[in-house]
Amino acid sequence: MDSVTIAGVDCGTNSIRLMIAEVDEHGLHVVTPRILRIIRLGQGVDKNRRFADDALQRAYAAVKEFADVLSRHHVDDLRFVATSATRDAANRNDFEDEVESILGVRPEVIPGSEEAALSFLGATATLHSTQDQTRPQPPYMVVDLGGGSTELVVGGDGNAVPAHNVRSGFSMNIGSVRMSERHLLADPPTEEQIEEATADIDAHIDEAFTHIPAQDVSTIIGVSGTVTTMSAIAMGCQSYDRHAVDGARINFDDAFEADDRILRMSREERGRVGAIHPGRIDVVGGGALIWTRVLTRVASAAATRGRHIDSFLASEHGLLDGIVLDRGRKMLAGLI
């Protein structure tokens, strides 16, 4: 068996994605470009610890759409991965049962540690195709900023530990939906709410830094819808252009200006920003604040070791790519 065709589903707190790709010894080759639907599955989960009925209906509608796409392709395997919101929901069994009845596979609710490792795999596997003119230097930190959680993953230095191998990772229980619903309730958010959210985010980063060597990082790679959306805005894109964003190097000054501007906008103002998907309008401000704090804190930690970081790489490749690539490699190796 020289190649396998794998379908992967990444079901997060705010969005759900499907990708079908062929995996061989050279990597991943997309068969069906990723399909994204904003479903806000994590609506109210931070407060109520259960899925809302309307959120479940949005999720089921997307899963049925994916089932239709899958019916038109032969796939050797399908893996459905669910993350932060599903980990927290008391009624997750109802969700898992219904998805299984539609797709024939049961969602795997993976721990944050596995989510982090798969995001790192997906993001670093495509570094060779980056737009950046200078070769990204290890160690790499991949930041997967989701709706309910944010994963920080650090790889090796390229010497003692291969650059594409995970050295350590940590999943913070903060994300764009969680921070927006927990703190940024006014429209636009008040200065007090922003300060409270910042303190909450920094406390989680403090804990993360006891588990990962942030001071050793040389290159930051940002993945997820929040990061790529804010990158497009920092680049001045009038509408979202995934080809322009993928692999682009973004200076911190441009990123921080865009993050702060979007954070302080009203919902109506964000709705007029063409690069923001309508499904992210309510929560992108919370994600932008997390992104600013992560970049600031990682750069500060790296500076203690004489490492100067003033930019990051934006990537369209993350958890979903990692799900498909990992599954394909295991099938080719006879491990599944």
In a structure prediction context, what are the per-residue pLDDT tens digits for the chain, which is 336 residues long?
799 999 999 998 889 999 999 999 989 999 988 999 999 898 888 888 899 999 999 999 999 999 999 999 999 999 999 987 788 888 999 999 999 999 999 999 888 888 889 999 999 987 765 565 577 899 999 999 999 999 999 999 888 899 989 999 999 999 999 999 999 999 999 999 999 999 999 999 999 999 999 999 999 999 989 999 999 999 999 999 999 999 999 999 999 999 999 999 999 999 999 999 999 999 999 999 999 999 999 999 999 999 999 999 999 999 999 999 999 999 999 988
- Cα separation, 318 vs 237, in Å, equals 22
- CA dist 115 to 112, 279, 306, Å? 5, 23, 30
CA nearest neighbour of 66 among 28, 95, 104: 104
Cα first-last separation, the chain: 13
- Cα separation, 303 vs 309, in Å, equals 8
Strand order in the sheet with 311-314: 166-172, 150-155, 140-145, 219-223, 311-314, 249-251
Strand order in the sheet with 27-38: 27-38, 15-24, 3-11, 77-82, 108-109
Check if the beta carbon of residue 219 is closer than 8 Å to that of residue 136.
Answer: yes
Preceding peptide of 138 cis, ω within 30°: no
- Give the 3-state secondary structure of residue 313: strand
Fill in the DSSP letter of residue 213: -
Q: Where do you find CATH 3.30.420.150 in the chain? A: 127-316
Check if the beta carbon of residue 247 is closer than 8 Å to that of residue 313.
Answer: yes
Alpha helices in the chain (DSSP H): 45-48, 53-70, 84-88, 92-103, 112-124, 176-182, 191-208, 225-234, 242-245, 252-263, 267-271, 284-303, 319-332
3-110: CATH superfamily: ATPase, nucleotide binding domain (3.30.420.40)
> Whole-prediction pTM value?
0.92
Q: Where do you find CATH 3.30.420.40 in the chain? A: 3-110
Instruction: Provide the pairing of β-strand 77-82 with 3-11.
Output: parallel
Per-residue tokens: 259 = 């993050």
127-316: CATH superfamily: Exopolyphosphatase. Domain 2 (3.30.420.150)
Bridge partners for 311 per DSSP = 251
Q: Which helix (H) or strand (E) holds 81?
A: strand 77-82
Q: What is the rounded (10 degree) CA torsion for 239, 240, 246, 248?
A: 40
